[in-house]
Amino acid sequence: MTSTPLADLWPTLPGADARPEAAYRLLQAAVESFAERGFHATTTRDIATAAGMSPAALYIHYQSKAALLAEISRAGHAATLTLVRGAVAGGGGPAERMRELVEQFTAWHARARTVGRVVNYELHALPEDAYAVVAALRLDIEREVSALIEAGVAAGEFQVAEVRTAARAVTSLGIDVSRWYTDNSSEAPEELGRRYGELVLRMLGARV
Amino acid sequence: MTSTPLADLWPTLPGADARPEAAYRLLQAAVESFAERGFHATTTRDIATAAGMSPAALYIHYQSKAALLAEISRAGHAATLTLVRGAVAGGGGPAERMRELVEQFTAWHARARTVGRVVNYELHALPEDAYAVVAALRLDIEREVSALIEAGVAAGEFQVAEVRTAARAVTSLGIDVSRWYTDNSSEAPEELGRRYGELVLRMLGARV
């Protein structure tokens, strides 16, 4: 598996300050195990072994495999929310900012596809409190995208019949990249982002 | 779980002619178990129990849980390919047929979301020969969508820079509906299909 190291995706990892390297190794091992076998078929021993540690050493950092899943899901969603907010706060009009948002969001899901799969397909395995955190982050992402579409409509740059459905389509297109993108995909993540940026602007009725 | 019974999705089920009801019950139980726990964490005993049978009774119909996954994946892909071909062969110009295709494809993935999740997220768990069958069906779906886009470009109804990327976006939007659609979603499957039909036609540069 040739996924990007988590440290590149999440430059800071709250809660892992004490021994960041070991925590990263565990998160990386958990991501790959969950993506390969699914959460339920993965044991804490599998994760510890893949990280080159004993199960006891794992418990110094994380209480359970559910705590690892919760941290992966939280950090993955927080990273995409940060990226979305960065694009929304950027320069230019709504169409320009939407292009930036889709380019970044798409490229992230191509590069971080292994994390993306775990984050999006193992939601049902999250403990209730961790699910609530992730649901709040997802709602924030949807709201940012909806607000940008509304700004574009107000500015006369977009023509959209149902803002919520359009926002859903925009995020959905990006998220699903994690499912189908592989090392053999013909477009590099940035090129795919560029193409998807064009497609989304048209979908929103922008003149491109 | 309130998914549509498989019999509604797959009116005929080759290989299950001898005792269709028992086979359907097993497929239904397998779909729900795989969707809930993932393929690797599900045992043949889990599936047999959920179908109200003994493991021995399961083996009369299917050799293994992998054989059940293979049949679910094959049938799910075959059903969507049939639906895509029906739309492509329908009346009207390319834009009209694309609208029909997206409406049907989207509504299917909303209604059959539990099957959709299994079919799309457990691909890596398929035995090699079963994977080859499914890969061929997926390629056929992509080709049908690409050919319809090309026909639309040739007819002057679509304006598309990269046909393959656009075809990927069209199928990806529909497939991802299985991930996010729930009983609480505000649009009925047919209404979502209608809205996605509009969005896709715009994405392809059709004047709608």
- Return the residue of B nearest to A201 by Cα: B203
> Rounded CA gap, B20 and B157, in Å?
45
Chains A–B, number of C-beta pairs less than 8 Å apart:
84
Yes or no, beta carbons of B172 and A173 under 8 Å apart? yes
pLDDT in tens, B91-122: 999 999 999 999 999 999 999 999 999 998 88
User: Averaged over A181-200, what is the pLDDT?
Assistant: 96
Nearest by CB to A38, which of B38, B176, B204?
Answer: B38
Q: Torsions phi, psi of A43, nearest 5?
A: -105, 160
CA dist A162 to A125, A131, A153, A154, Å? 32, 28, 11, 14
pLDDT band at B3 (very low <50, low <70, confident <90, very high): low
Contact B58, B48 (CB under 8 A): yes
- Return the residue of A nearest to B203 by Cα: A203
User: Averaged over A101-125, what is the pLDDT?
Assistant: 93
Identify residue B23 by its one-letter amino acid code: A
Average pLDDT over chain B, rounded to an integer: 91
Residue A16: predicted pLDDT? 47
Q: Which of B109, B202, B207 to mutate to test the interface with A (most CBs of A within 10 A)?
A: B202
Residue A85: predicted pLDDT? 97
Q: Is the pLDDT of residue A1 over 90?
A: no
CA dist A109 to A35, A119, A189, A194, Å? 14, 11, 8, 13
Residue A15: predicted pLDDT? 52
Rounded to a whole number of angstroms, the distance from the CA of B124 to the nearest CA of chain A is: 8
* pLDDT: which is higher, A175 or B37: A175
> Rounded CA gap, A127 and B163, in Å?
42
Residue A10: predicted pLDDT? 61
Q: Which of B98, B122, B164, B203 to mutate to test the interface with A (most CBs of A within 10 A)?
A: B203
Q: Distance from CA of residue B109 to its chain's centroid?
A: 6
Q: Is the pLDDT of residue A99 over 80?
A: yes
Nearest by CB to A38, which of B41, B172, B192?
Answer: B41
The chain B residues in contact with chain A (CB within 8 A) are 36-41, 117, 120-121, 124, 161-162, 164-166, 168-169, 172-173, 175-177, 179-180, 186-187, 192, 195-196, 198-200, 202-205
Q: Is the pLDDT of residue B131 over 90?
A: yes
User: Averaged over B31-58, what is the pLDDT?
Assistant: 94
Contact A3, A112 (CB under 8 A): yes
Q: Is the pLDDT of residue A66 over 80?
A: yes
Q: Is the pLDDT of residue B16 over 60?
A: no
Share of chain B above pLDDT 70, in %: 91
Identify residue A1 by its one-letter amino acid code: M
So what's the ipTM on this one?
A: 0.90
* pLDDT: which is higher, A2 or B133: B133
Residue B9: predicted pLDDT? 62
> Rounded CA gap, A28 and A2, in Å?
11
- Per-residue HEC secondary structure of chain A comes to CCCCCHHHHCCCCCCCCCCHHHHHHHHHHHHHHHHHHCCCCCCHHHHHHHCCCCHHHHHHHCCCHHHHHHHHHHHHHHHHHHHHHHHHCCCCCHHHHHHHHHHHHHHHHHHCHHHHHHHHHCHHHCCHHHHHHHHHHHHHHHHHHHHHHHHHHHCCCCCCCCHHHHHHHHHHHHHHHHHHCCCCCCCCHHHHHHHHHHHHHHHCCCCC
Residue B121: predicted pLDDT? 87
Rounded to a whole number of angstroms, the distance from the CA of B86 to the nearest CA of chain A is: 24
Q: Is the pLDDT of residue B69 over 60?
A: yes
> Rounded CA gap, B95 and A73, in Å?
39
pLDDT in tens, A9-57: 665 555 545 557 888 899 999 999 999 889 999 999 999 999 999 999 9
Residue A164: predicted pLDDT? 96
The position carrying tokens 């500015």 is A155
Yes or no, beta carbons of B176 and A172 under 8 Å apart? yes
A48: CB partners within 8 A, 6+ apart: A26, A29, A54, A55, A57, A58
- Cα within 13 Å of Cα(B133), Cβ side: 17
Helices (H), B89-206: 94-111, 113-121, 128-154, 163-180, 189-203
A127: CB partners within 8 A, 6+ apart: A66, A70
Yes or no, beta carbons of A36 and B192 under 8 Å apart? no
Residue B2: predicted pLDDT? 45
pLDDT in tens, B150-189: 999 999 999 999 999 999 999 999 999 999 999 999 999 9
Contact B1, B114 (CB under 8 A): yes
Which domains are assigned to chain B? 6-63 (1.10.10.60), 66-203 (1.10.357.10)
Q: Is the pLDDT of residue A59 over 80?
A: yes
Q: Is the pLDDT of residue B15 over 60?
A: no
User: Averaged over A141-168, what is the pLDDT?
Assistant: 97
The chain A residues in contact with chain B (CB within 8 A) are 36-41, 117, 120-121, 124, 161-162, 164-166, 168-169, 172-173, 175-177, 179-180, 186-187, 192, 195-196, 198-200, 202-205
Give the least confident one: A67-81, A179-193, B16-30, B85-99: B16-30
Rounded to a whole number of angstroms, the distance from the CA of A41 to the nearest CA of chain B is: 5
> Rounded CA gap, B23 and B7, in Å?
10
